[in-house]
């Protein structure tokens, strides 16, 4: 195994932090009314954000989507600020103005996320062009779902990035569903990674539920991009456990079968890494319990912080608003 034990434990802890945060948010959404914003959960996809972001520097930029919690936390975003943002509080990472779908944390390299499908892909390309013009070795990463492959701006962005050999990595999180529709029902060719061929860039399909595979393939792509090799398209095959939006599983809606959900839940990326760490004596049962309890405490402290925080003052309603 060519990944150091300390790094493996960090990958595990990072995925667990996302999972426990999301599961508590799901409980809060189901049982309380304080979180008003539409909330898209990342449960099941943790290996993608963690595997990619573990190879990035703090000054590298990550551009996210409406399903942004995992990217935010994997890039080093503050747990309390994230929870406060979901509650619409002034202490939130977007000062209570963005909610779940519009997280910002420039201090850790996440300039923003957007609810517009494929909306941040060209922004990531623009940032990469700026880095190149400034002669920096900084890179940008665009995370997006499989539904973004239906948008013209996806292809335009790949073309420009390849044409100018820009330092950007495109990461498609293919969770098999575009909102509520199976990707096969809305995309003629579902091999999204092969789209890269038309733009003379590498396209690689990755097991998005295997954090070690994601980490190693992303590492190669990021190192190549950082050294001037141009962009890469990664298609990470994964699955979201919850519905498109909210805490439910969507089984009752007939959108997918219980058998399909059970299959993917049995391929849990966190359980797979946990088993590996235990079997190779990289982590003991006691250490596993300590990590779990520590992260669980972080999440509960974040909830308390969010509930105690003030709402934005009405006098600031028009501040931080762009106008011409």
At 143-177, the pLDDT tens digits run 999 999 999 999 999 999 999 999 999 999 999 98
Q: What is the average pLDDT across 313-323?
A: 74
Structure tokens at 58: 């703090």
- CB atoms inside a 10 Å sphere around CB 301: 13
In DSSP notation, 120-154 reads THHHHHHHHHHHHHTT----EEEEEEGGGGGSHHH
Superfamily of domain 5-305: Thiamin diphosphate (ThDP)-binding fold, Pyr/PP domains (3.40.50.970)
15-19, 51-55, 184-188: which has the minimum mean pLDDT?
A: 184-188
| Tens-place pLDDT, residues 21-54 | 999 999 999 988 889 899 999 999 999 999 999 9
The separation between CA 14 and the C-alpha centre of its own chain, rounded to angstroms, equals: 12
Which H or E run contains 288?
helix 285-308
pLDDT tens track for 239-270: 999 989 989 888 877 788 899 899 999 999 99
Q: Which one, of 101, 90, 93, 98, lies nearest residue 76 by Cα? A: 93
- Domain edges within the chain: 5-305
**pLDDT value for 202:** 97
Q: Which pLDDT score is estimated for 316?
A: 74
Q: HSE (CB half, 13 Å, CA atoms) of 244?
A: 14
Q: Is the pLDDT reported for residue 324 higher than 80?
A: no
As a whole number, mean pLDDT of residues 282-291 equals 96
Determine the Cα–Cα distance for residues 249 and 255; give it in Å rounded to an integer.
10
The segment with the largest mean pLDDT, out of 114-118, 176-180, 287-291, is 287-291
How high is the mean pLDDT of the chain? 94
pLDDT at 323 over 70: no
Give the per-residue pLDDT at 22. 97
CB within 8 A of 322, min separation 6: which ones?
none
| pLDDT average, residue stretch 129-153 | 96
Give dist(CA 286, CA 34) in Å, integer: 36
Question: 60 near 139, Cβ under 8 Å?
Answer: yes
Confidence (pLDDT) at 263:
94
Q: Which regions of the chain does DSSP assign to beta strands (E)? A: 61-64, 112-113, 140-145, 168-174, 177-178, 181-182, 203-207, 232-237
In 3D space, the residue among 123, 5, 3, 83 whose CA is nearest the CA of residue 51 turns out to be 3
Does 1 have pLDDT greater than 70? Answer: no
Give the pairing of strands 177-178 and 181-182.
antiparallel
Report whether pLDDT(10) > 90.
Answer: yes
Percent of the chain whose pLDDT exceeds 90: 81
Average confidence (pLDDT) over 319-324: 69
What is the mean predicted confidence (pLDDT) over 5-27?
A: 96
pLDDT at residue 104 above 90? Answer: yes
């Amino acid at each position: 195994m060519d990944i150091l034990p300390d790094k493996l434990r960090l990958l595990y802890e990072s995925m667990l932090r996302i999972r426990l945060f999301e599961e508590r948010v799901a409980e809060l959404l189901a049982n309380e009314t304080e979180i008003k914003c539409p909330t898209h959960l990342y449960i099941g996809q943790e290996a993608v954000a963690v595997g990619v972001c573990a190879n990035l520097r703090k000054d590298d930029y990550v551009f996210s989507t409406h399903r942004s919690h995992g990217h935010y936390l994997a890039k080093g975003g503050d747990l309390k600020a994230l929870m406060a943002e979901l509650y619409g509080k002034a202490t939130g990472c977007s000062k209570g103005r963005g909610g779940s779908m519009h997280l910002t944390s420039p201090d850790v390299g996440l300039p923003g996320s957007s609810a517009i499908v494929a909306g941040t892909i060209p922004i990531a390309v623009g940032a990469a062009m700026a880095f190149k013009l400034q002669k920096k070795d900084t890179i940008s990463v665009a995370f997006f779902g499989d539904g973004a492959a239906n948008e013209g701006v996806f292809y335009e962005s790949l073309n420009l990035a390849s044409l100018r050999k820009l330092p950007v990595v495109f990461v498609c999180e293919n969770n098999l569903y575009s909102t509520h529709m199976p990707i096969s029902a809305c995309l003629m060719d579902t091999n999204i990674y092969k789209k890269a061929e038309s733009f003379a860039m590498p396209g690689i399909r990755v097991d998005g539920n295997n954090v070690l595979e994601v980490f190693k393939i992303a590492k190669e792509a990021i190192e190549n991009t950082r050294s001037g090799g141009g962009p890469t398209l990664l298609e990470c095959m994964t699955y979201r456990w919850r519905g498109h939006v909210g805490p439910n599983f969507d089984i009752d809606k007939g959108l997918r079968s219980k058998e399909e959900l059970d299959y993917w839940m049995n391929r849990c990326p966190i359980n797979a890494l946990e088993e590996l760490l235990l079997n190779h004596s990289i982590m003991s049962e006691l250490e596993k319990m300590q990590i779990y309890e520590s992260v669980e405490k972080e999440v509960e402290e974040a909830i308390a912080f969010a509930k105690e925080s003030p709402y934005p003052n009405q006098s600031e309603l028009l501040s931080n608003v762009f106008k011409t």
